A and B are shown apart, each in its own frame.
Chain A
Amino acid sequence: MLPAELAERLRSRFPEPLEARGEVTVFVAPEELQQALEHLRGEEDLAFDTLSDVTATDWPGSDPRFWLAYQLRSMRYGHRLRVKVGLPDSDPRVPSVTPMYATANWLEREVFDFFGLIFDGHPDLRRIEMPDGWVGHPLRKDEPLAGVNTQYKGAFIPPPDQRGL
């Protein structure tokens, strides 16, 4: 299905699908995410059977602060779709889609690791990239960009320029 056709097809189920530069985006509320993905996967002419990626962006000061993006792909028809979910600054929670897409397991762990978003119902929500004992979520915009302490087994070692060498 071509992007314009896809956007037109989704208009009945999702309000205002966005079609820009050949990419289609739909917006859903956190509590409707699972239903929406089940719908997109189950419809015979959509068949979004693959979750390629789960990513997030951080927009401090705006509401919602976090935008989650689920990149879907249909292996049967070859078309793609992005599902975006806005999450508030306080208590950013969204239901996990791991029962539906097995790939979501590690992808959601990565988003949790870097942004601190909570995926309810995830079977094993641990850090995946950063060390287990790391304090903070480094891809949030309010985390320091440079001059980060080395966290080694509970010790905090400042960067070389602050070590008084």
Chain B
Amino acid sequence: MPVQRIEGVHTGQTEGEAEEEARRGLMTTTLGRAVAWARKNSMWPATFGLACCAIEMMAAGAADYDLSRWGMEIFRASPRQADLMIVAGRVSQKMGPVLRQIYDQMPEPKWVISMGVCASTGGMFNNYGLIQGVDTIVPVDIYVPGCPPRPEMLMYGILRLHHKVQQEARLK
């Protein structure tokens, strides 16, 4: 949480003072952690469903699983308003440059989740048609295995990504 400095109040040096501040609803942190906290709690995914994984992704966003609990129910239709790309499905060789362009259009900082085995390694489609792993064209933060992964699995991946974002605590 960002520190709110109020006139006449100093940050606690002793345990007693710290307890007193907690009672007043104050907390101290670093700026990097505060920014990371804000980032992870309103992460907006780009709408990028490619195949059957997209159905599970939609289910995760809908009422039953309710991604809005983590402030990310708005799947942005424009990559320029998104900071998370969930590659949900197999990527064909011809779709690869399109995917890369969408990734390039997303503003920094941005993260990528490779959802399902097809996006992660090509899966069962070991042939000329598909890109064998989306990590060959964009940097991937979290791989979510499964064919397709259930919404719980995707949500676990997202929570791991949140953890990662909080741990990075970087300023850019």
A interface: dominant SS: loop
Bound-state Cα–Cα, A129 to B130, Å: 12
B68 interface residue (CB < 8 Å to A)? no
Is the pair A150, B94 in contact by a Cβ cutoff of 8 Å? no
A148 interface residue (CB < 8 Å to B)? yes
Is the pair B127, A148 in contact by a Cβ cutoff of 8 Å? yes
A147 to B, closest residue via Cβ: B126
Among A64-72, A95-103, A153-161, the stretch that binds chain B is A153-161
Q: From residue B90, how far is it (CB to closest CB) to chain A in Å? A: 12
Q: Which residues of A contact B97 (CB under 8 A)?
A: 131, 152-153
Within 8 A of A (CB), among B89-136: 93-94, 96-97, 121-122, 126-129, 131-133, 136
Bound-state Cα–Cα, A143 to B126, Å: 13
B137 interface residue (CB < 8 Å to A)? yes
Bound-state Cα–Cα, A96 to B132, Å: 35
- Given A138-B128, A143-B128, A150-B136, verify A131-B122 contact (CB < 8 Å): no
A59 interface residue (CB < 8 Å to B)? no
B interface: dominant SS: loop
Of B96, B121, B126, the residue contacting A152 (CB under 8 A) is B96
Interface size on B, residues (CB 8 A): 15
Interface size on A, residues (CB 8 A): 19
Q: Which residues of A contact B128 (CB under 8 A)?
A: 130, 136, 138, 143-144, 148
Of A129, A143, A152, the residue contacting B131 (CB under 8 A) is A152
User: 1/0 per residue B129-156: CB within 8 Å of A?
Assistant: 1011100110000000000000000000
Residues of B within 8 A of A (CB): 93-94, 96-97, 121-122, 126-129, 131-133, 136-137
Taking A136-B128, A150-B131, A157-B132 as given, write out 18 further A-B residue pairs in contact, using a Cβ cutoff of 8 Å, ordered by the A residue number.
Answer: A130-B93, A131-B96, A131-B97, A134-B93, A146-B127, A147-B126, A148-B126, A148-B128, A150-B96, A150-B132, A150-B133, A150-B136, A151-B93, A152-B96, A152-B137, A159-B132, A160-B121, A160-B122
17 contacts between A and B (CB under 8 A): A130-B94, A131-B93, A131-B94, A131-B97, A136-B128, A143-B128, A146-B126, A146-B127, A148-B126, A148-B132, A151-B93, A152-B131, A157-B132, A157-B136, A159-B126, A160-B122, A160-B133
